[in-house]
Amino acid sequence: MIKKIAILTSGGDAPGMNAAIRAIVKSAHCNNIETYVVKQGYLGLYKGDIVKVNNDDIEHILNLGGTFIFSARFPEFKDIANRKIAKKNLDKLGIDALVVIGGDGSYKGAQKLSELGINSIALPGTIDNDIASTDFTIGFFTAWNTIVNSIAQIRDTMNSHHRIGIVEVMGNKCQDLSFFSGISSDVDYTAMPDEVLTAKDVARIYEISKKNKKNSCLILVTEKTYKNIHEFASKIEKETKVVTRATSLGHIQRGGMPVPMDKYIATMMGNKAVELLIAGKSSRCIGIVNNKFVDYDIERALDQPRTNRTEMVRIINKINR
Ligand code: ADP
Ligand code: F6P
C-alpha cells in the first residue's frame, strides 16, 4: 500500500492543472496518504525541490489558471543519470508514487521513472490536445474558448474597417486547436498546421467573402507555419489592395481561469490517478474516451496515432465561407 504521493506539472502549463492537483491531494487524504508537490516539474525533482502539502494549501486553487507548483522544460531529464538523482530525492522522503501532469514529453519522463521503480501515473495536461490516448486533455477546453472569444472580437474590428484579418493560434503541429476553433468561429477559412497559404490563395478567399457580401475576411492559421505573420499580412495587402492585419494570439491561449469542462475532467482524472496507485498500478496514463475515464499503459498510449481532421476541415471551410 502506498503511503506518500508526489505531484508535478511539466511542459507547457494548462488551465485546469491546479484543479487536478487539488483532486489528487484531496483523494489521497481521504485514503490517509500523505501528499507532496514538486516545484518546476522534472527540474524540481532533480533538484529535490519537494514540499509536503495538506488540504488547506490547495483550498483556493480550483479556479486558478497556470500551475501553482510551477512548470518547466528540462531536457536533461532524458539522461538516466539525472533520473537516478531524481529517484534518490524521492527515496529520501520515502515517497513511493508520483503523478505527472503534462504532455507527451512529460509522459515519457513518467514512463522512464516507472522503469526505475517509482510508481508513476500520467495525466494529460496541455492546451494542444495532442495526446492520442484521450479525446480531450486538461486545458484544451479553456484555450479553445479563449480563441473563439478572441476571434469574435477581431471580427468586430475587421468588419468595421472592411479589412482582411489573419489570426494565428497555437497547437504545436497538432490540428485540434485550429480545427475546433475554426468550426466554432466566424472565420472564412481555417488552415491546418501543414497548410501554407500564399497571398494569392488569400486573395481568392477574399473574393468569395466579398461575393457573399461579408464586411471583412478572416483567416485562421496555425503557429509555426509562417516565419513572420506580419510580413505575410503585408504580402496579402500588396496582392489584394485591402488593408490586412495579423494577430498572433500567443500566450493568452495558455492562461486564464479554467472553464468548467477542464475542471471536470481534471478532477475526475486526479481522483482516478489516486485510485490506480492504491490498486498498485504504475506506468499508466489516464484519458477520457467516449465519455468514460480510462487508463492505458503509457508506452502503448504514446504509440497511438492522433485523429486526423483534414477531411473534416473541408466541411468547415465549405460552411463558413
Ligand atoms: P510536454 O510534456 O508538454 O510534451 P515537453 O515535450 O517539453 O512538453 O516535455 C516536458 C519535459 O518532459 C521535458 O522538458 C523533459 O524534462 C521531459 N521529457 C521529455 N522527453 C523525455 C524523455 N524521452 N525522457 C525523459 N524525460 C523526458
Ligand atoms: O504545448 C503548449 C504550447 O503552448 C504550444 O501550443 C506552443 O507551441 C508551445 O507550448 C509554446 O511554448 P513556450 O511557452 O515554451 O514558448
pLDDT digits (tens, 9 = 90+) for 210-252: 999 999 999 999 999 999 999 999 999 999 999 999 999 999 9
pLDDT in tens, 141-186: 999 999 999 999 999 999 999 999 999 999 999 999 999 999 999 9
Query: Ligand 1: which atom is nearest the Cα of residue 107?
Result: 2
Closest CA to 286 of 77, 124, 105: 124
133 and 150, same domain (yes or no): no
Closest CA to 172 of 218, 225, 227: 225
Does residue 171 have its Cβ closer than 6 Å to ligand 2?
Answer: yes
Assign residue 204 the CATH number of its domain: 3.40.50.460
The answer to whether 61 and 7 have CB atoms below 8 angstroms apart is: no
- pTM more than 0.85: yes
Residue that is written with C-alpha cell 475546433 in the block: 180
The reply to whether 64 and 161 lie within a common domain is no
pLDDT at 244: 98
**How many angstroms separate the CA atoms of 236 and 45, rounded?**
48
Q: How many domains does the chain have?
A: 2
Mean pLDDT, the chain, integer:
97
pLDDT-derived band at 1 (thresholds 50, 70, 90) equals confident
pLDDT band at 21, cuts 50/70/90? very high
pLDDT reading at 192 higher than 90? yes
Q: Is 293 found in the same domain as 270?
A: yes
Q: Is any atom of ligand 2 closer than 6 Å to the C-beta of 66?
A: no
CB 98 within 8 A of CB 284: no
Which region among 234-238, 293-297, 308-312 has the lowest average model confidence (pLDDT)?
308-312
Q: Is the CB of 44 under 6 A from ligand 1?
A: no
What is the residue range of 196's domain?
Answer: 143-254
Residue type, 139: G
Q: Same structural domain for residues 34 and 75?
A: yes
H helices within 212-259, ranges in order? Answer: 229-240
Instruction: Please state, in angstroms and rounded to a whole number, the distance separating the CA atoms of residues 80 and 263.
Output: 34
Q: What ranges in the chain are assigned the alpha helix state H?
A: 17-30, 41-47, 55-58, 80-92, 104-115, 140-161, 176-183, 199-211, 229-240, 260-278, 298-303, 310-320
Q: What percent of the chain has a predicted confidence (pLDDT) above 70?
A: 100
Residue entry with cell 502549463 = 13
Asked whether residue 76 falls in the same domain as residue 185, the answer is no
Ligand closest to Cα of 253 equals 2
Indicate the top mutation candidate among 129, 221, 254 to test ligand 2's pocket, ranked by most ligand atoms within 8 A of CB.
Answer: 254
Task: Using CB atoms within 10 Å of the CB of residue 93, give its burial: 0 to 12 exposed, 13 to 18 middle, 19+ buried.
Answer: middle
CATH of the domain at 76: 3.40.50.450
Q: How far is the CA of 197 from the centre of ligand 2 (A)?
A: 22
Determine the pLDDT at residue 226. 96
Average pLDDT over every residue of 132-143:
98
118 & 265 share domain: yes
Query: Exposed (0-12), middle (13-18) or buried (19+): which is 305, by Cβ within 10 Å?
Result: exposed
Residue 137 CB less than 6 A away from ligand 1: no
Pocket test for ligand 2, best of 170, 173, 174, 249 (most atoms within 8 A of CB): 170
Instruction: Please report, for the chain, how many H helices and E strands are present, in that order.
Output: 12, 11
C-alpha–C-alpha distance, residues 10 and 12, integer Å: 7
| Whether residue 321 has pLDDT greater than 90 | no
Distance 108 CA to ligand 1 centre (A): 6
Catalytic residues: 128
Q: Are residues 168 and 69 in the same domain?
A: no
Q: Which atom of ligand 2 has the smallest separation from the CA of 103? A: 1
Tell me, yes or no, whether 124 and 200 share the same domain.
no
CA 81, 79, 284, 64: dihedral to nearest 10 degrees?
100
Q: What's the distance, CA 223 to chain centroid?
A: 14
Strand order in the sheet with 217-222: 189-190, 217-222, 164-169, 244-248
Report if residue 170 sits inside a domain: yes
31-73 pLDDT, tens digit each: 999 999 999 999 999 999 999 999 999 999 999 999 999 999 9
- 15 and 133 inside one domain: yes
Give dist(CA 100, CA 122) in Å, integer: 5
Instruction: Examine the domain organization and report whether 94 and 178 are in the same domain.
Output: no
The reply to whether 318 falls in a domain is no
Give residue 93's pLDDT.
98
